[in-house]
A and B are shown apart, each in its own frame.
Chain A
Amino acid sequence: MKIEVDIKPTEQILARYPAQPRFLISVMQDIQLGYRYLPREALERVAGALGVPLARVYGVATFYKAFSLTPRGERELRICTGTACHIRGAPLILHELQTRLGIKPGQTTEDLVFSLEAVNCVGACALAPVVVVNDVAHGNVSVTGVRRLIRTPKTPKTPKGKDVGADN
């Protein structure tokens, strides 16, 4: 399904910066924030506006983790895989979310609700393990407690009416 990309927000973003190659990353960050990914049409416009060859724009887009060339979900779940989080159980949390959502890190659910990512240390090490949902950090997350974060109105309950994601 080819979605029409509204180029206006890209123009507005470009208007905020001088038309110089050095603002490429900043412009792309704003576009990522606005569209939840980097649409090709937007990057083609950026290449022309800043005077950067398209291939280089594409190279930068694929080099940095902040950028995604495919749409990310409404709820971006970022599991911190920093050392402190690692030794306090982050791999288990990641595994749990992978299994429950049926996607791997870097992927988005088909309904575009959830994106999963294993990210570098977010700097909240004292609260390890940490999961960041959009911009909100959740600390001391447990394998069972993390299910709270992926609850939607559609999450099924167990036959007895008890919520599968009950915190222990």
Chain B
Amino acid sequence: MEQTGPSSFNITINGRRVEAARGEVVLQVARRAGIQIPTLCDHPAVEAFGSCRLCMVEVTKEEWKGWKGLMTACLYPVAQGLIIETDSESVHHVRRNVLDLLLARCPDSELIRRLAAEYGVTRTSFVQRENPDLCILCGLCTRVCETAATSAITTTRRGHDREVGTPWGGPPPDCIGCLGCAHVCPTGHITFEDKGLTRTIWGREFELQRCSDCGKPLPLTRDQVDFLARRQQLDPSYLSRCADCQRRSVAQTMGRIARWHQLGLVQEEAEVAQ
């Protein structure tokens, strides 16, 4: 890995010279240059994982004398003199197989069907999973839960039996109902329901936070409010108002400040005068 050398340099992607900075990875440089590389397990909220292998690109350097390697763009660090092909035959060959294999795993997923069709796969060449669900094991849900919430869900077992699950298969004790997992899930495998004041996800029921001013249910659960307040060291009341009431409250505060200026008062005096 390059630790020394210039901090920014050019690399070549699909014959184009693009600027890159030390410490960046191929995927971010490509995106910046408007070059599309498909991904499934990549998301800005979490660190790159390299599990889906869809973003594989062909890399080489002049000094490699014709040797080419396939690397995942989401993790491969840029370096001076890097030459990258994002759509070569070998790249497509891997992508086609990855999508064909995922289609065997999740034949009912719209997303996988669409992506697989782009690479010429309309029916899987492999043995389809029995009782398939929509989970492609991209790991986004567990990684988001770990980074942004409480690590309430986990991957269990290993290999072909690997599954995203909860402790002993039951409602996860540490879940706060934040829906981070459901929002990042690319296939819609993780579902939830908000009904009245109750949110249900992973077999657990949560009470939605009511707005402290108007009483309307917020999209946050009470557990979530507690968690965020503790973690960000905020006053829970800061998180317990709906958008409208929050705006009203801010407007009122601004109005008060304007009055003090009118009266030529400094804040402490104004508070005494209240």
Asked if A and B touch directly (CB within 8 angstroms), the answer is: yes
- Report the minimal beta-carbon distance from B180 to chain A, rounded to whole angstroms: 14
Kindly identify which residue among B153, B157, B158 contacts A55, using a CB–CB cutoff of 8 Å.
B153
A53 sits at the interface (CB 8 A): yes
Among A24-32, A58-66, A149-157, the stretch in contact with B: A58-66
B212 sits at the interface (CB 8 A): no
Q: B156, A40: Cβ atoms under 8 Å? A: no
Q: B151, A53: Cβ atoms under 8 Å? A: yes
Q: A55, B172: Cβ atoms under 8 Å? A: yes
B64 sits at the interface (CB 8 A): no
A54 sits at the interface (CB 8 A): yes
Residues on A with beta carbons closer than 8 Å to the beta carbon of B156: 58-59, 62-63
Q: State which residues 166-204 of B face A: CB under 8 Å.
A: 166-168, 172-174
Q: B157, A63: Cβ atoms under 8 Å? A: yes
Q: State which residues 124-167 of B face A: CB under 8 Å.
A: 146, 150-158, 166-167
Residues on B with beta carbons closer than 8 Å to the beta carbon of A62: 156-158
Expressed in whole angstroms, the Cα–Cα distance for A57 and B168 within the complex equals 11
Residues on A with beta carbons closer than 8 Å to the beta carbon of B166: 55, 58
Q: B168, A55: Cβ atoms under 8 Å? A: no
Residues on B with beta carbons closer than 8 Å to the beta carbon of A56: 151, 154
Q: B168, A58: Cβ atoms under 8 Å? A: yes
- Report the minimal beta-carbon distance from B206 to chain A, rounded to whole angstroms: 17
Expressed in whole angstroms, the Cα–Cα distance for A59 and B168 within the complex equals 10
Residues on B with beta carbons closer than 8 Å to the beta carbon of A55: 151-154, 166-167, 172, 174
Contact with B along A48-87 (1 / 0, CB 8 A): 0000011111110011000001000000000000000000
Closest to B169 in A: A58
Residues on A with beta carbons closer than 8 Å to the beta carbon of B155: 59
Residues on A with beta carbons closer than 8 Å to the beta carbon of B167: 40, 54-55, 57-58
Residues on A with beta carbons closer than 8 Å to the beta carbon of B174: 53-55
- Report the minimal beta-carbon distance from A118 to chain B, rounded to whole angstroms: 15
Expressed in whole angstroms, the Cα–Cα distance for A53 and B149 within the complex equals 11
- Report the minimal beta-carbon distance from B235 to chain A, rounded to whole angstroms: 26
Q: B168, A40: Cβ atoms under 8 Å? A: yes
Closest to A60 in B: B154
Q: State which residues 87-137 of A face B: CB under 8 Å.
A: none
Q: State which residues 6-50 of A face B: CB under 8 Å.
A: 40
- Report the minimal beta-carbon distance from A55 to chain B, rounded to whole angstroms: 4
Expressed in whole angstroms, the Cα–Cα distance for A55 and B149 within the complex equals 12
- Report the minimal beta-carbon distance from A106 to chain B, rounded to whole angstroms: 11
Residues on A with beta carbons closer than 8 Å to the beta carbon of B158: 62-63
Expressed in whole angstroms, the Cα–Cα distance for A53 and B156 within the complex equals 14
- Best-buried of B153, B157, B166, B167 by chain A (most CB within 10 Å): B167
Closest to B157 in A: A62
- Report the minimal beta-carbon distance from A21 to chain B, rounded to whole angstroms: 12
- Report the minimal beta-carbon distance from A33 to chain B, rounded to whole angstroms: 21
Residues on A with beta carbons closer than 8 Å to the beta carbon of B154: 55-56, 58-59
Residues on A with beta carbons closer than 8 Å to the beta carbon of B168: 40, 58, 69
Closest to B163 in A: A62
- Report the minimal beta-carbon distance from A88 to chain B, rounded to whole angstroms: 26
Residues on A with beta carbons closer than 8 Å to the beta carbon of B173: 54
Expressed in whole angstroms, the Cα–Cα distance for A132 and B96 within the complex equals 44
Expressed in whole angstroms, the Cα–Cα distance for A63 and B173 within the complex equals 20
Closest to A61 in B: B156
Residues on B with beta carbons closer than 8 Å to the beta carbon of A57: 167
A-B contacts, 8 of them at CB < 8 A, read A53-B150, A55-B166, A55-B167, A58-B156, A58-B166, A58-B168, A59-B154, A63-B157
| Interface residues in chain B, defined as those with a beta carbon under 8 Å from any beta carbon in chain A | 146, 150-158, 166-168, 172-174
10 more CB-based (< 8 A) A-B contacts, given A53-B151, A53-B174, A58-B167: A53-B150, A55-B172, A56-B151, A57-B167, A58-B154, A58-B156, A59-B154, A59-B155, A62-B156, A63-B157
Query: What 10 A-B pairs come out closest when comparing CB atoms?
Result: A53-B151, A59-B154, A55-B154, A58-B167, A62-B156, A62-B157, A63-B158, A54-B167, A55-B151, A55-B167
